[in-house]
Every structure is written in C-alpha cells, then in structure tokens.
Amino acid sequence: MKKILIVEDIDLNLDLILQLLEDDYTCHVARDGIQAIEMTNNLLPDLVLMDISLPMLDGYQATQAIRQAGGKMPIIGLSAHAMQGDQDKALQAGCTDYLTKPVDEALLIACLNRYLE
C-alpha cells in the first residue's frame, strides 16, 4: 500500500482527509513543518500532502527543505489561500501540484491517482 504523509495542523481538515484516504493508503501525520521534514526523511513516503499555513515552519519552507535534502516524491500543496500567485509560490517552493481548501474529494483523488499510479 502506498504511503502518504499528511501535513496538517487543523483537526477538522485532517479528519476529512484521513476519512478519504485511510482505506486505500497508509497514512502518516505531521502537525507542523519541522515534523514534516523529519517524517519525510525517515518514512520516505510515496507522496506528501503539505498544508501551506503551518506552525514552526510553513509549508513553503518545509517543502524547500525536503527538496534540498533530496526528496523527489510528489508534494501536493494544500491551502485555503486561493489568491492569484499562491499556486505559483507553492510551485516555486518545490510543490509538484497545488489544491485549495476545502479540499474537493474528486480533485484530490484525481491528483493522487495522477502521481501514484
């Protein structure tokens, strides 16, 4: 089963994502940017769902650190920010793709299928 690291600090968002994914993937959870970096380096997940607004280090910084450490797995940025330029900023930081919250179930599943199949 493919491993996904879900990086999310809001319980409600985390619960929704886990409900969608835990039957089909092995899900691990990090609650801040520092944990995200450590867990990515230790677990080597197949994909990371990276919240952008995080405590400690934000998702941009955590993604950059993962890439600098050699992480090649897809990193999907997740953010409630849907302003013009937010997606570009995430992609420049090293995210492979970007989805807005609240997460659309069909878009999330299609995104995971695109990168994990």
pTM: 0.96
Cβ distance 85 to 60 under 8 Å? no
Cβ distance 40 to 63 under 8 Å? no
Question: Measuring CA to CA, which residue among 99, 61, 62 is closest to residue 80?
Answer: 99
Q: Where does residue 91 rank: exposed (0-12), middle (13-18), buried (19+ CB within 10 A)?
A: middle
Give every CB contact of residue 74 below 8 A, 6+ residues apart in sequence: 46, 47, 48, 96, 97, 115, 116
- What one-character DSSP code corresponds to residue 69? T
With bands split at pLDDT 50, 70 and 90, how would you rate the model's confidence at 85? confident
Question: Measuring CA to CA, which residue among 65, 29, 34 is closest to residue 49?
Answer: 29
Domain ranges, ordered by start, for the chain: 3-116
Predicted confidence (pLDDT) per residue in 19-60, tens digit: 999 999 999 999 999 999 999 999 999 999 999 999 889 999
Whether CATH 3.40.50.2300 fits 3-116:
yes
